[in-house]
Amino acid sequence: MSKIIIDEEKIDKFLERGVAGIFPSKEALKTKLMSGERLTIYQGFDPTGPYLHVGHAIGIRALKILQDLGHEVIFLVGDFTSKIGDPDKGSTRKVLTDEEIEKNMSNWKKQATQLIDFKGENAVKFERNNKWLSKLKLEDILKLMSNFTIQQILQRDLFKKRLKEDIPLKLHEIIYPLMQGYDGVAMGVDMEIGGADQIFNMLVGRDLSKIYLNKEKFVRANKMMDAPDGITMSKTKGNGINLGDDASQMFGKAMSYPDSAILNGLELLTDISMDEIKNIETKIKTGENPMRFKKLMAYEIVKSIKGKKEASVAQENWENTFSKKETPENVDEFIVESGMLLMEALVSNKIVSSNNDFRRLVEEGAITHKEEDKKITDVKEVVINGVYKIGKKRFCKIIIK
């Protein structure tokens, strides 16, 4: 049993920074955290994809604070719930197969290890909710369901929206919040952490904890990593930072965030002090070039995940590539037969998707040979040794066999 540390500064940080809401109240939770009692806290993550991303990192960072304070922290993988899928705005989610879930999960622990400790004296526990949810009988489920009315469940904005817009809403989707809430009951937790989009689900869990365990479950909702103007980072945008990315990729993706995400990113994903962030806000408002601060954000994000050294390298790399337009390090290398057409070489190595794609790029003047500083204009060009640049971001090094 590890010792509980009562560090008011850290506790305040946990209660203030990146917080979208605390239930039942910030004050109540503070009293609890100051009491010296060892609490059990968890956040659930549905393995719907192979990577954890920075959105997850926000929660994990919060968990880390609690781990450092000596509390019992559980990293819960929603392997069962992901089979149902947290309802989405547009439609019922695709059901994942067991294989997909296993595959997605396989790297999560490793990725999360970058931010949180699964080893040591006060190790974070890695759990999966399949352990208890798969054992529920219909009887149990009915009992669970009987605690809520349809009216209550339909309070969820998402459900309202789906109904209003006549988008099918299946029965199993509306019990998702109950299952999530049951996780807290099964683990007997004192607190749940989750994204602001999870508030409804987490509050349902609060009710369940009261009903089943007669226990107050605290809820801390994290701010989401969206830019204030609504431009989000996401998989579809291609600029979502995955915890599985290497440092350079992370840096690049962070730099492609809109300016409006800088302050949010600094608050949620770095350890830059809030005073400093306020400062930066003023500076940007008074017309200072935001790029400097975006670089700071990118650096700090990478640092918090990969460490100082890798962050510096990533920054240098990025500056060389984009500011000075040099060739980055670690360019992918491809060995090709001599006499091969450049087109064949690039297509067969899947650097460009088809011959037509290649033709288009040549017409657009998007391909250059770096060493010779020559723009490729002939579709039938034969490959030569060296680095080719395709567009702004793609590089490949060709080595003739």
Partner RNA sequence: GCGUCGGUACUCAAGUGGUCAACGAGGGCAGACUGUAAAUCUGCUAGCUUCGGCUUUCGGAAGUUCGAAUCUUCCCCGACGCACCA
User: Counting contacts by CB under 7 A, is residue 394 touching RNA?
Assistant: yes
Stretch 93-122: interaction string toward RNA, x if CB under 7 A: ------------------------------
User: Counting contacts by CB under 7 A, is residue 393 touching RNA?
Assistant: yes
User: Counting contacts by CB under 7 A, is residue 355 touching RNA?
Assistant: yes
Q: Find the binder of RNA among 141, 231, 331, 400 (CB under 7 A).
A: 231
Closer CB to RNA, residue 119 or residue 285? 285
Q: Which of residues 283-322 bind RNA (CB under 7 A)?
A: 289-291, 294, 322
Closest by CA position to 274, among listed 5, 15, 6, 7: 15
User: Counting contacts by CB under 7 A, is residue 256 touching RNA?
Assistant: yes
Tell me the window of 128-136, 184-192, 240-248, 386-394 that interacts with RNA (CB under 7 A): 386-394
Distance CA 344, CA 24 (A): 63
Closer CB to RNA, residue 17 or residue 294? 294
Tell me the window of 46-54, 126-134, 140-148, 391-399 that interacts with RNA (CB under 7 A): 391-399
User: Counting contacts by CB under 7 A, is residue 377 touching RNA?
Assistant: no
Q: Find the binder of RNA among 7, 68, 100, 259 (CB under 7 A).
A: 259
Nearest distance, CB of residue 220 and RNA, angstroms = 31
User: Counting contacts by CB under 7 A, is residue 188 touching RNA?
Assistant: no
Closer CB to RNA, residue 76 or residue 262? 262
Q: Find the binder of RNA among 139, 151, 164, 168 (CB under 7 A).
A: 168
SS (H, E, C) the chain: CCCCCCCHHHHHHHHHCCEEEEECCHHHHHHHHHCCCCCEEEEEECCCCCCCEHHHHHHHHHHHHHHHCCCEEEEEECCCHHHHCCCCCCCCCCCCCHHHHHHHHHCHHHHHCCCCCCCCCCCCEEEECHHHHCCCCHHHHHHHHCCCCHHHHCCCHHHHHHHHCCCCCCHHHHCHHHHHHHHHHHHCCCEEEEEHHHHHHHHHHHHHHHHHHCCCCEEEEECCCECCCCCECCCCCCCCCECCCCHHHHHHHHHCCCHHHHHHHHHHHCCCCHHHHHHHHHHHHCCCCCHHHHHHHHHHHHHHHHCHHHHHHHHHHHHHHHHCCCCCCCCCEEEECCCCEHHHHHHHCCCCCCHHHHHHHHHCCCEEECCCCEECCCCCCECCCEEEEECCCEEEEEEEC
Closer CB to RNA, residue 76 or residue 254? 254
Tell me the window of 67-75, 182-190, 304-312, 353-361 that interacts with RNA (CB under 7 A): 353-361
Tell me the window of 51-59, 182-190, 275-283, 385-393 that interacts with RNA (CB under 7 A): 385-393
User: Counting contacts by CB under 7 A, is residue 48 touching RNA?
Assistant: no
Tell me the window of 10-18, 49-57, 133-141, 361-369 that interacts with RNA (CB under 7 A): 361-369
Q: Which parts of this chain interact with RNA (CB under 7 A)?
A: 166, 168, 170, 231, 236-238, 255-259, 289-291, 294, 322-323, 347, 353-357, 359-361, 364-366, 379, 390-394
